Every structure is written in structure tokens, then in C-alpha cells.
Structure 1
Amino acid sequence: MTGTAEKLAELRKLLEIAEEPSGEKGIQKRLAKGIPSARERVHMLLDPGTFVEMGALMRQPGKPDAYYGDGVVTGRGYIDGRPVVVISHDPSVYGGSVSETFGRRVRAAMDFAYNNACPVVCINDSGGARIQDGVASLAWYANMCRPLDDLSGFVPTVAVMFGKCAAGSVYGPINMDVLVATEDSYMFVTGPEVIKAVTGSSVTAEELGGARALEKNGTVHHVAKDEAGAFAWVREYLSYLPTSCVEPAPVVNPGLEPEITATDRELDTFMPDADKVGYDMHEILLRIFDDGHFHEVGAKTSENLITGFARVDGRPVGVLANQPLVLGGALDAACSDKAAHFIRLCDAYNVPLIYVVDTPGVLPGVDEERNHVIKRGGRMFRALIEATVPIVTIVTRKAYGGGFAVMGCKQLGADVALAWPTARLAVMGAESMIPIVGKRTLEATPEEQREAVRQNMIAFYNATVATPWTAAERGYIDAVIEPSTTRLEIRKALKLLRDKGAVRKQNPRKHNLFPM
């Protein structure tokens, strides 16, 4: 009869095997690649000593030599003292490929996250479907992806991409809230070899689905130099979000700097006098939020629009700001997608939105029209209309045409709209207006006097039409403020809006239809 001591010894032996299921061969393979183990990655992400594994002794039934864990590590732990569920692919076991047992582990972890309202972080490094499992692998891909619908907008979900993510394994990460990658990772539906065989075209993995290429086109929201950098970004990102949509986000150091500071006063002389002179919008953002800190999301995607998180009086806010250094801050099709995603992300988790506006409007051009700027701009438009979180808008300089509307105007949903004295709010800028409104006048003017007349028309337009005073007089903005008061005005506005409720009329429809 086996005693307790023997049973404990057997348990310890099995757990030791499960810790390195592929044994010395797997360790050497991992060392050759210079990557941590799946469990080491989990420990890098979580608070020290908080990981509790789920299903460590699961393996394929009917195969005595089957590896424990079956190519994935799942469990729960804490980040900054708050619960999180983690899924980490193990490329040293069957290449991290998906089988039925793999799928059962992942599905159980996702169900736990849903039932206990925990964020999910999935560390992807998978060879895709396990060919030997045939259709069972495909079925469990579907079973793993289905809970993402319930989790989406309920708890924050983050996909981290290491190594290669190919074929069906791309659809799980892309359906999570944000996707983070390292520089040497890849993601594509069909790889270079398949493309070469089917189409005859040659393309490198980096060109096809390298992290930097994916970051530029908006598929990946952040690329880190290494795995430690990726995990640091994820930890900071989650610090701005609640554990679920029914919980408040963390409050950090409220009440700091309750009066105007020297840094605030720098804004009074910050704006260039000439409209065509650019500046870095980040310099404004660093002065109007707590601690001068800004956590950017999608920094290398559509750089004409900045999106990211900051804090106001210790509470997280989502920020959308035009970048005058890129396309003059104009809005295009690509940045519309970026904005729509970010607005819906913040609205899902009850994070207020701050718009900081300096845009000449929508970027004109044949390429933009062919790139569906109408449809994609419509998504940004609708995302703003549907948002129910507090919204505060600051116009620093230009707010022309469609840019005035979709960048958080009161008429589309902003609760408080403010402008600096340097703001210009109009259908278009003076330079664009003159050829339309002043065409006949200029044609009737002697050629040697035309430039002087043109400049006078521009000055008159800027002084009487494109001013914040007209907008303030008619109630289209709430106030014109001194730039140095911006930080405190945002703080006061959000305090006023803290109890804003999402009051909507009952509507029998099943759902709306986005421009797709």
C-alpha cells in the first residue's frame, strides 16, 4: 500500500517534470534561441510570487509519453496587486501548437477570467494548429476564440507577440484590445513560403508581417526592444484601466499641484504666432496632465494623431490630440481607424476622453478618397457620438471643417469645450477660403495689388471669422481660457462630470451598423 510520503514524492516528481516538460532537449533548444521559458515569461510579467498555475498536469490522454501542459501555461496572478489571468504559449513543447488539450487549458483560463472579472494577458509564441490533431485542433481554435466576445469590453485583454504567430493563431490576438510585440516577432496568415508556392511572389517575413511593419499599419499597438520592455509596457498600460468595466480605474496621487505652476505658465507663450509654424503636441500634453507623464498607444501608427493615457487629479483619462508636425495635424483614413478604436476602448472601460485639437481638417487627395476616408472617417464620427464617458475638448489652434466636428465638438458629444485665445474655428483656413470667396475680388484687382489685397482678406477673415470669440458668443464652446489654466480647467471639468451617467432611451433595435 502506497503511503502519504510516497504520494507526496510522486506529486513533487510530476510537478518537477511539468516545470520543464520537454526536458533537457527543450532547455537547450530554448537556450539556443536565447528566450525564456513560458513560465519565466509569466513571472517576468506578474508581481513576484503571485502566480498560481491552472492545469499544470494536463496532457493528451491515451499517450503515456505525452508532455505535461501540452504546449501552454495558464494561471492567475497579480499586477500591481490587482488580479489578472495569464496564458503563455510554450514553444519548446510541440512548437507551442494548438491541440484539444491545449485548447481546453486556454478555454478554462478564459472562462475563469470571465467568471471572476479578471483582465487577460496572452503571451503568443505558437507554431499554429497541431497538424497531427487534424480537425480537433481547428475546432479548439474556435472554442478558444469564442470567449473573446464575452470578454471584449468587459475586462481588459492584451495580446503579447513573441516569435512567430501564423495562420489561425493570428485571430485570437487581433481580437484582443491591444497587441504588443518585440522587434524580432512576426505575424501573418500565410508565410513567405506559402505565398511563393501559390503566387510566385517573393517576400521576406519581415516585409510581410514583421513587428515594425505591423506597427506602422496599425495592427500592433506597441513594439518593444525586448521581452522585458514589452512586459513593462503592458504593466503600465493596465495601470490606467479598471480590472473590469464595472470597477473604477486606479487613482494615483490625487491632489498634486492644485495651483498654477511655472510649467503651466509656459503655455501662455508656447503657441507660435504664425499659423504655418509647427510644434510638437507632446510638449503641450506633458504640461496639462499629472506628473508630465503620457502613456502612448500606437505611437508609430498614423503619427498625425496622438492617442494614449494620462492622469488628471490622479484619475486615468484617454487623450486624442492632433500632431502638427505630421501632415500639419490633418486627419486621414488611417488615423480615423486609430481614433475609433481608441475611443471605443476608453468608453468600454469608463475612462474619460480629452481631445486636444489643432487640425486643418481632413487631408485632401485622390489617394485618401480611394483609401475610404469617408467610410473610415465615419467610424471615428460614430465612435464619438456613441461614447457615454465624460468628454472635455481643448482647441489650441486650428479646428477647421470636419476636423472641428470629429475632434470632440460639443455638438457631437463633448460635455465641456474650451479654447485658447489662439484658436481658430471655421469651415476652412483663410488660405483655402480666399480662392473660393475672394476669387472675383482678386480677379478685378490690378495684378500688382493682388497680393496686398489677398493678405488684407486673410487678416480680415482671421480677425472676424476664424476666432474663438464668435464660437463663444454663440455657445459652440463653453469658454475661452488662458493656456496656463488648462490643466486646472480640465481637472475642474472632470470633477464636475464624475457622476455623469449614460442615460439612453430604450431602443428596440438589435444593434447599430458601423460604416464597414
Structure 2
Amino acid sequence: MIGDDITTLGGTQSIVNERKVDRILEIAVQNNFPIISLSEGGGVRLPDGIGVGFARLCGLHKVGCLSTLANWRRRPLFICGVFGHTYGDPAIRSAMADITIMVKDASAAVSAPIVIEAAISEKISEEKLGGSFLHESITGTVDIVTKTEDEAIDSIRRVIKMFRATEAPTDPPDRLTPSLESIVPSNNRKVYDMRKVIVTILDHGEWIEFKPHYGTGLITGIGRVAGKITGILANQPLIAGGAVDAKGLWKSAAFLDFINKRRIPLFVIQDTPGFLIGSEVEKDGMLNAIANHARALDAIDIPMVTLIIRKAYGAAYYFLGMGASGAQFVVAWPNAEISFMAPEIGAVVLTKNVDNEKKEDAMKKAITELSRGTSIWDIAYEGLIDSIILPEQTRKIICHAFQFITEGCNNDIIH
């Protein structure tokens, strides 16, 4: 446990602080203890950090409070709570953590407003500089935002509880889920809230969503399936019909890195028209986001189960996790479709040079032709999917799949 005491010199850092933190981190790494940081401080203490004082803090020796926490491949689970205005090292911890929780009126930034004004003459408030809205919606640094400090502490406890060892499920794995048919419209063009699907499938609907206001076309979080902690990655049809943008891919890639390191099985739910396209998306660095996500996906070596609900179009089908990209079990509902793109879009491309008077007939013919083979039954006929299941069987099949493919996995997930 690392706590910055805001009542003592503003929670600033000195050489003694650094030694204390390095010592506790050394013990945590040696014993695989989870690390919790309660951040609220002003960074390096003045005048201790001026000249040779700063060299004492980070001279020829390794600064464990930075290097150890940054090395997520070596350290144990790391949770950071941001409880007030936080700058310097305590703020950097929030970006290094596996899971970051922030109180709504807190802030986190490299330097405090007073330093910024002195250095570059910019006047800015703590909230605009590094407030919760910025970090939950724009930077994606924060996973959970709470209204109060008590709620933040409760969220830390909920996260720790979610990492408990595998247990006998008290929610029957064979429980049927007939309500899914009313939650999900059969019409592919109608939207719905994927969170309702997730809650229906998971044990007692128990789960924690990460970064709900960043990359909103994708949902990430952790829950329990058949008594075991499970990562959840799902499209959100309420946002652009479930299309995936660059922020969603950055969020997903970071999440895949996290669950892969922690050996958490992955449950993917696909209902997507593909990657979001257009000039604005390209300005956001879509190609870089896809490449980074491909790296994270290729590194996955944990149990993965994928469910296709209505549609899985384009490269998003591959990059969100299917058989060829690592899923050990891929199932779909009977009305699902898999294709490079929607037949209606493909028809526009194929008929772009057709005369206007023949366009309507050509479009109808192209749509009919392109619709052939997109049915999940055609795909199953060629053995390109593992099973077709009814919506009411979803929880039952998913639970049995995870029980089978995760048997023998390390139950000590928190380490």
C-alpha cells in the first residue's frame, strides 16, 4: 500500500519518501502482493529536488517507484486511486496502473498549474488541466470515476474481490437466458445496449466495466463466468451501430495486454458492422491503432471464447477475436452473418459504373448475389464456426465452454 499524505508538505516527494516506496515495492514484487496506490500529492518536494537534491532522487541508481511500477510484465497487480489534485510521480502512477480509479473532483497531471504558469505563462484550472472528464473521456487513463472518496475505496475493494480464486458457481451454469431474444432486436439495423446482454450471461450479473466513456464503441471489463474471473470485450451497438474506432482499439489493446499478463480468460461478444471509416477516423490514427491491436491480439495465449450475436463484418471480425486470431471456441446465434462488408455497401461499390437507368436493377441483383453465403448456416456448413446456438442457451454453452477450456488454469489470478 502506497499513500501520499496531503496534510504533510502537500504530499510532496523527498528522498526518504522514495526509499520507503522502493522498499515496499521490493517486498510486493518478491511476494507477489498486489500493489495499491492512494495518490494525492504534489510531486518532487522543493527545495529538496533542486540541483544535487534531484540527483539524489534519481542519479545513478534505479528509481523503483518508477521503474518497478512501469514494468507490468514483472510486477504484481497494481491498482491506483486518485483522490485529489495529483502531480509528478503520484500522477504518473495513475497511468502505470493496471486499473485506475479517480474521484470526480480530483485531477492528475505532470505539473501543477502554478508551475505551468511560471514556466510557460499558461493559466489553467486543475480540472481543465487533468480533471476526471479529461482522463475518462479523452486520454483514457482512468478506468473508473466515482463521486466520492468513499466510493473510490469501495471500487478498489470490488476490484480486489473480483480477483478472488475460482469458486463453485452459485448461479447455475445451466441457467437459460430466454430474455436475450427480447433484449436483442432481430433487425440488424436496430440498436440495443450490449451491457444488458453481458449482465444476463454473467454469474449474477456481476461485473465491473472499465473506461466506459472512452472508445465507447467497445466495452471492456471483468466479471465472473461459471465461478471464475473472466475478461469481457464486446461491441456496443448503441454507439455507431457497434463500429470500432481508433480509441476503442487502443482501449481494447491495453485491456488485452492486461488480461493476458494476469492470465484472465477472455469472453468476446461480437455484433459489429466493422471498423469505423472516414477522414476523421484516419486523423485519429486508425491504422496505427489497428496495428497495435494486432500486436496485442497476437500475444494472447489465454482461453478465449467468442459469441457472434447478429453480424461480424470486415477486418473487425478478425481483430476482435475469432478462431483464426486465437479463440478456442466460436459460436453464433442462428440469425448471425459473417462477411467482409454488408451486402448493401458492397452492391454500391460493384455498381458504381452502371448507368443510372439500370442502377436500381443492378443494385438489387448485386445485393442478392452478395447475400449468398453470409448466413451463419452457410459458414457452419463449411466448418468455419464451432457451433450455432439458440439465444436461450447462451449462458449454458458459454459456461460449459469456459469450464472445459480453463480446466487446469492457474486460479491464483491476482498474482
- The answer to whether 1:140 aligns with 2:60 is no
State the shift of 1:146 in Å. Answer: 2.1
Equivalent residues of 1:185, 1:211 under 8 A apart:
yes
TM superposition shift of 1:143: 3.6
Matches within 5 A, 1:191-230: 191-217=112-138, 218-230=140-152
User: Is 1:126 equivalent to 2:48 in the alignment?
Assistant: no
| CA-CA distance at 1:200 after TM superposition | 4.6
1:207 is paired with a residue of what secondary structure? helix
Question: Paired residue for 1:181?
Answer: 102
Alpha-carbon spacing, 1:112–1:406, altered in 2? closer, same or farther (3 Å): same
Aligned to 1:160: 81
* Alignment deviations for residues 198-250 of structure 1 (CA, whole Å, 9 cap, x no partner): 54544332122101211112011111111111111111112233xxxxxxx51
Amino acid at match of 2:367: I
**TM-superposition CA deviations, 1:14-50 (whole Å, max 9, x none):** xxxxxxxxxxxxxxxxxxxxxxxxxxxxxxxxxxxxx
Shift of 1:92: 1.0
1:93-112 counterparts in 2 under 5 A?
93-112=8-27
Unmatched 5+ residue regions in structure 1?
1-85, 242-248, 503-516
Q: What residue identity is the alignment partner of 2:153?
A: F
State the AA in 2 paired with 1:485. Q
Residue 274 (structure 1) shift = 2.3
Q: Do the aligned residues in 1 keep the contact of 2:347 with 2:370 (CA within 8 Å)?
A: no
CA deviations 1:152-190 (Å, max 9, x no partner) are 454110111111111344323321212111011111113
Q: Is the 8 A contact 1:183 1:225 kept in 2?
A: yes
Instruction: Identify which range, 140-149 or 173-182, moves more after superposition.
Output: 140-149
TM-aligned CA deviation for residue 289 of structure 1: 1.1
User: How far does the alpha carbon of each residue in 1:371-415 deviate from its partner, in whole angstroms, 9 at most, with x for none?
Assistant: 211111212222112111100000101211111111111101111
Q: Does 1:389 align with 2:302?
A: yes
- What do residues 271-316 of structure 1 show as CA deviations (whole Å, max 9, x unaligned)? 3232211011011111111102221111121111100111111111
- Equivalent of 2:5 in 80, 87, 90: 90
**Partners in 1 of 2:9 and 2:55 — Cα distance?**
16
Letter in 2 for 1:341: A
Q: Which of the numbers 419, 430, 443 marks the counterpart of 2:355?
A: 443
The one-letter code matched in structure 2 to 1:161 is V
CA contact (8 A) 1:130 1:137 kept: no
Q: CA separation in 2, counterparts of 1:398 and 1:106?
A: 49
The answer to whether residue 376 in structure 2 is matched with residue 468 in structure 1 is: yes
Pairing partner for 2:212 from 293, 299, 302: 299
Report the 3-state secondary structure (helix = DSSP H, G, I; strand = E; otherwise coil) of the residue aligned with 1:398.
Answer: strand
Shift of 1:269: 4.2
Counterpart CA distance in 2 for 1:357 and 1:110 is 39
Q: Which moved more, 1:203-212 or 1:280-289?
A: 203-212
Larger radius of gyration: 1
Counterpart among 349, 358, 379 of residue 271 in structure 2 = 358
State the match for 2:200 in structure 1.
287
Tell me: higher relative CO, structure 1 or 2? Use CA pairs within 8 A at least 6 residues apart: 2
Partner of 1:406: 319
Letter in 1 for 2:275: V
TM-score w.r.t. length of structure 1? 0.73
Please tell me whether residue 491 in structure 1 is matched to residue 403 in structure 2.
Answer: no
Summarize the alignment of residues 222-301 of structure 1 with structure 2, pairs less than 5 Å apart.
222-241=144-163, 249-254=164-169, 256-261=171-176, 264-301=177-214
CA contact (8 A) 2:113 2:126 kept: yes
Q: CA offsets, 1:54-107, max 9 Å, x none? A: xxxxxxxxxxxxxxxxxxxxxxxxxxxxxxxx1111111111111111111111
Q: CA RMSD in A?
A: 2.2
User: Residues 410, 347 of structure 1: CA spacing in aligned structure 2 closer, same or farther, 3 A cutoff?
Assistant: same
Task: Please state how far the C-alpha of 1:422 moved relative to its aligned partner.
Answer: 2.0
Looking at structure 2, the residues matched to 112 and 198 of structure 1 have their Cα atoms a distance apart, in angstroms, of 38
Specify the code of the residue in structure 2 equivalent to 1:354. F
Cα displacement (A) at 1:137: 4.9
Between Structure 1 and Structure 2, how many residues are aligned? 403
Would the aligned equivalents of 1:114 and 1:151 in 2 still touch at CA under 8 Å?
A: no
After superposition, what is the alpha-carbon deviation per residue over 1:308-356, rounded to whole angstroms, capped at 9, x for unaligned? Answer: 1111111110000000101211111111110011111111111100000
Residue 8 (structure 1) aligns with: none
Query: In the alignment, which residue of structure 1 is the partner of 2:250?
Result: 337
1:424 aligns with one of 313, 318, 337: 337
* Aligned pair partner of 1:115 in 27, 30, 55: 30
Residue 479 (1) aligns with residue 387 (2)? yes
* Mapped contact 1:239–1:250 kept (Cα < 8 A): no
**What amino acid does structure 2 have at the position aligned with 1:163?**
G
Long gaps (5+) in structure 2: 411-415
Counterparts of 1:267 and 1:131, CA distance in 2: 59
**Native 8 Å contact 2:39 2:81 kept in 1:** yes
The residue number in structure 2 matching 1:508 is none
> Residue 265 of structure 1: SS of its match in structure 2?
coil
**Paired AA for residue 373 in structure 2:** V
> Which secondary structure does the structure 2 equivalent of 1:131 belong to?
coil
Q: Contact 2:183–2:192 (CA<8 Å) still a contact in 1?
A: no
Distance 1:96 1:260, change over 3 A: closer
For 2:413, the equivalent position in structure 1 comes to none
Distance 2:183 2:266 in 1: 24
- CA–CA separation in structure 1 for the residues paired with 2:253 and 2:83: 27
**AA at the equivalent of 1:466:** T
Residue type of the alignment partner of 1:497: I
| Residue pair 1:153, 1:349 contacting (<8 A) in 2 also | no
TM-score, normalized by length of structure 2?
A: 0.90
1:458 alignment partner AA: I
Q: Give me the whole-angstrom Cα distance separating, in 2, the residues matched to 1:491 and 1:458.
A: 38
Change in 2 beyond 3 A, CA 1:163/1:271: closer
- Give 1:9-28 correspondences, 5 Å limit: none
Deviates more, 1:489-498 or 1:144-153: 144-153
Contact preservation (8 Å) 1:99, 1:137: no
Residues 295 and 110 of structure 1: CA distance in aligned 2, closer, same or farther (over 3 Å): same
1:14 aligns with: none
